[in-house]
Every structure is written in structure tokens, then in C-alpha cells.
Structure 1
Amino acid sequence: MENKSLLNTIQVNIKWTDLDPYNHLNNSKYFDFMTEARAKLFWEYSLSSKTQLILHECNILFKKPYHYPNKIILEQYTNKIDGASFDLKYIFKSPDNNELIHAEAIVKMVTFDPEKNRVCRVPKEIVNILENKNET
């Protein structure tokens, strides 16, 4: 099911230690910031499900580098929900220009049942979060 609803937005300050030798934001930091956005999203809820969310795939399109000092506006969207997985879309924006996109990413998360040691359907409570049906 395609959804494309905005889940949350976070703002991150770029630190000098986040830079690569070329004075750009290090590519590995994009993964860190996406992980932070996911954690912020799911930790807001007390999930009764023991289902684990496993990162399966991540594709990033880098468009324009960030430099120091700067801030990142990171928007996280539900992109697609399937039986045992869901895709999240991330848009890295400039705080000074909402139209300027620095990078876009699609992350595929797989739901895993640790008791059965196998992939499982996305639990309804997680689908509700992804479809913005829970009250915050």
C-alpha cells in the first residue's frame, strides 16, 4: 500500500567532527541521522509487539553537500507498506531554503519475530504509526 505521509521532522546540528577530509558532511552521518529519526518515531510509542525492525536496504541519492557550520532538516515519510516490510523515505533539506534538497533516501525495513526466528507481517500497531493513525 502506498501512503507517503509525513511521519516526523527532525533538526540536526552538523558538528565539525561530522565532516570528511573534503569538508563535507561524511556520508556515514546520513545513516546516523536516519537512524535517529526512526528511533524518535518509534520510541514515542509504547509498542506491545516484540517485533524487531531490521534494516534491510538503504539507497541514498546525494545531491548537494552540506558544509560546516550548518543544520539539517530531515523529513521522514511512510513510502510503502507491504506484508512483512515497509519503506521509509527521507528528505534532507536546508534550514534556510526549504526547496533545497541535499539528499533523498529510501530505506526498507523488515519486521522480524525473534521468538519464531523469522520474518513476520508488519503488526497493526506499527501500520497505525506508519499511517499516522495513532495519537501522539
Structure 2
Amino acid sequence: MKNLSLRWSDLDPNFHLRHSSYYDLAAQERIEILHQYGITIGLLQETHIGPVLFKEQCEFRREIHLNSKVHIVTKLLRMRKDGSRWVIRHEFLSDENQLHATIQVEGSWIDTLRRKIARPVPEAILSGLERFPKTEDFEYL
């Protein structure tokens, strides 16, 4: 769980969180969690592997304003046993645990030199994904 610090530039003309800010905040949180579990930018550069998204979808429930106390919870929902494909869910929650939005992303790993899906996934990446927080209904694909 990460408490969000919202900026003026995150707002839209209606003075609530701009739709694209949700996606930016979720992407930053994913990278920070990957780093926390050993999947660092350095490792990705060294192995010439990077995350790639196939689908990104947001369901908006409640507005978030500049002074809102909101946190994001990010968990792995599904994954292939070899770590080559995965689904991550982000939930934007108030301090009272009211759901403001859910973002779900489906992705894989790309070989940044060959520009093709990376197979097999390096052990360090698979190990990090195995430690990534998981939803209660997590399942292997």
C-alpha cells in the first residue's frame, strides 16, 4: 500500500484527478514494487528485458480531489508459472477503504534488443514476481 501525494498538474478542469493521472500513478507504483522485489531498472537494462503492456483498463467509481487522502494497493492477479505473462490489479482506496478506481493491466516481458516477447524469463525476474504481493483470488494461468 502506498499513500498518494497528488499534484496540481494531476487535476483536470473539473478539479478532480485527471483520468491519465490514474494510469501514471499505477505505472510508477508497478515499477517501485518490481524494484522492491529485485526487478530493478539495472537488472532490466543488463538482461535487455522490459515490461510491456497488452491491455490497460480503468474502472472509475468515485472522484479523487487534490486534498483527498488516497492510497494505492497493487497486487498480482494472475501469472503464467514461467512468469512470461501476468495481470496486475491496482486499487485506489480512501482512508475509509472506499474504492475510487481499479486499474487492471495485462502484460509480458519484451527482449529490448530483438523487440520480441522474451522467453524464457530470467530467473531473477521470475523470483521477483513470485514474491510480488498477490490478490486473495490469485491464480496461475
After TM superposition, the score normalised by the length of structure 1 is: 0.79
1:70-109 pair list within 5 angstroms? 70-82=68-80, 84-95=84-95, 97-98=96-97, 100-109=98-107
The SS at the match of 1:58 is: strand
In 1, distance between residues paired with 2:60 and 2:123?
33
Structure 1 or 2: more helix by fraction: 2
TM-align CA RMSD = 1.9
1:1-136 pair list within 5 angstroms? 9-44=1-36, 45=38, 46=40, 47=43, 49-82=47-80, 84-95=84-95, 97-98=96-97, 100-121=98-119, 122-132=121-131
Unaligned runs of 5+ in 2: 133-141
The AA in structure 1 aligned to 2:124 is: E
After TM superposition, the score normalised by the length of structure 2 is: 0.77
Aligned length: 123
1:10 Cα shift?
1.4
Cα–Cα, structure 1 residues 50 and 68, in superposed 2: closer, same or farther, change >3 Å?
Answer: same
Cα–Cα, structure 1 residues 114 and 18, in superposed 2: closer, same or farther, change >3 Å?
Answer: closer
In 1, distance between residues paired with 2:70 and 2:63?
11
In 1, distance between residues paired with 2:126 and 2:78?
10
1:65 Cα shift?
0.8
Contact 1:78/1:131 (<8 A) preserved: no
Moved more, 124-133 or 31-40: 124-133
The SS at the match of 1:13 is: coil
Cα–Cα, structure 1 residues 27 and 113, in superposed 2: closer, same or farther, change >3 Å?
Answer: same
The SS at the match of 1:104 is: strand
* Percent of aligned pairs with the same amino acid: 24
In 2, distance between residues paired with 1:114 and 1:19?
34
